[in-house]
Amino acid sequence: MYKWIIIGGGVQGCTIATHLIRQKKVDANQLLIIDSYEKPMHRWQELTSKIGMPFLRSPSVHQIDTNPFSLQHYAKKYNDKSFFGKYKRPALELFNQHSQYVLNSCSILDCWHRGNVCDVKKEGSSWCVKTNNGEVFKSTNLVIAVGSTHDLHIPDWAKGFENVHHVFSSSVTNFSELSSPVVVVGGGISAAHSVIKLANLFPGKVTLLKRKPFKIHLFDSDPGWLGPKYLNSFNKEKELTKRREIITNARHKGSIPRDLYFTLLSLERKGQISIVTDQVKSLSCKDDQKVNLLLESNPTVEASSVLLATGFKQGLPNQSWLSRLIIEENLPCAQCGFPITNQLEWCSHLYVAGSLAELEVGPIAKNIAGARKAAKLITQSK
C-alpha cells in the first residue's frame, strides 16, 4: 500500500514526484511512479533529441526542482554557460543533465515501475491501479499525469502513404534514414527544428511547407499566464466553456521564437531550404519512390519523404481506462470533456496534471511551468 501513486513519468509526473519528496509529503518508499518507459522523462528526451532542439523555449526557472533557480545553481557549480537570450533559455543537454541530477537526489528510480496501466478503480478508501501484466498496486492518493504525445494528428490527405511519416512516429527513428528531397509540413516549433536539422543532412533538398505566415512569439503563451496578471480573471470565470475559449485564444499555437525564424530565413537565403506557404490539397504517388503534393494554388511539390510536424490530437488523452474511470466514478467534466477540479483534486484523493489540469491551471498546463504549478497545488492540498 502506497501513500501516492503517479501514473505517468514524464516532465509532469517527475516534477510532482520531486515536489512531494522535497517537501516531505511522502518518503520515496511510499511513492510509486508507473510509466510505460524504462526511465524517467524518456518520451521528452526522445522527442526533443529527434528534432534536434538545441535550447528549450522555456526560461531556466522552469525546471523540475522546487527551487526555481536550481538549474542556474547547477550550471554555475559545473561552470556550464549553456543559456540563450535574456531569459536564460537552457540548452537541452543542460536541462536534461540537471533533471537527472534532481531525480537521482530524490531516489526516483527507487519509486519507478515500468508498466502500462489498463485499469483504475476505487476500492474503499484506496485507489487500485492495474497494469497489463496483471500487477495490482494500491494507494491512498493518485495523480494522473498522462499526456497525449502518442496521439499524433495525421491529416486525412496524408493517410495511407508509406513515405509519409509524422515527425514523432516510431516509423522514423533517425532523420538520416529518410530519402531526399524531404518536405516538412507544419509551421510551428517542431517543424522549424526539424527543417534546421534536415538542412544539415540534405542541404538544398528540404522544403518547409506551411499553411500560414510565420507566427513569431517568444513563448507559446504570454508570460502573464504564469501569475495573477491573467490568472486572477481566468479563475473568476465560472463558465467553463468560456475558460476553454480563453485557453484556446491564449495559446500561440504553431508559433516559433524569433531566433528560429531568423535561422530559417538564413538557411533559405543560402539555398539550403525552401519555404512555401500554401495548403495541401491532396497527395498522389508519382512512382515507387516519390509522391506529389498538390497545393491549393495548383502547383505541386515533389518529395521522396514527407514529414508531418502537425502536432497531436486535441481532447483527452486516449486511454480507455481513463474513460471508464470517468463513468464508473461519475467524475465531473466540463462540456469539452476535461476534468472539473479544485486544487487539481478531481474527487477525493484523485489529482490531475498536464492537459487534464487545463481548466484550472490555464494555457500553461501542458508546459514545464504548468507542471510546476500543478506540483505546487497538489503538494499544498495535503
pTM of the model: 0.95
Are residue 169 and residue 187 in the same domain, yes or no? yes
Written as one letter, the residue type at 18 is: T
Residues 128, 265 within the same domain: no
Is 55 domain-assigned?
yes
- The total domain count for the chain is 2
Across the chain, mean pLDDT equals 95
Q: Are residues 162 and 127 both part of a single domain?
A: no
Q: What percent of the chain has pLDDT over 70?
A: 100
pLDDT on residue 148: 87
| Residue 240 covered by a domain | no
Same domain, 54 and 177: no
List the strands of the sheet with 164-166, edge to edge.
Answer: 164-166, 305-308, 182-185, 206-210, 273-277
301 and 172, same structural domain? yes
> Do 6 and 145 fall within a single domain?
yes
C-alpha cell at 75: 550550471
pLDDT class of 203 with cuts at 50, 70, 90: very high
Q: Which domain holds residue 293?
A: 156-217+252-308
Distance CA 172, CA 163 (A): 10
* pLDDT higher than threshold 90 for residue 160: no
Cell numbers describing residue 120: 483504475
Tens digits of residue pLDDT in 261-278: 999 999 999 999 999 999
In this prediction, residue 239 has a pLDDT band, given cuts at 50, 70 and 90, of very high
Task: Count the alpha carbons within 13 Å of 339 in the hemisphere toward its beta carbon.
Answer: 30
Q: What is the pLDDT of residues 32-54, one digit of tens each?
A: 999 999 999 999 999 999 999 99
* CA nearest neighbour of 67 among 33, 18, 110: 18
pLDDT band at 259 (very low <50, low <70, confident <90, very high): very high
CATH (domain of 330):
3.50.50.60
- Does a structural domain hold residue 227? no
- The per-residue pLDDT for 149 is 87
C-alpha cell at position 159: 493517410
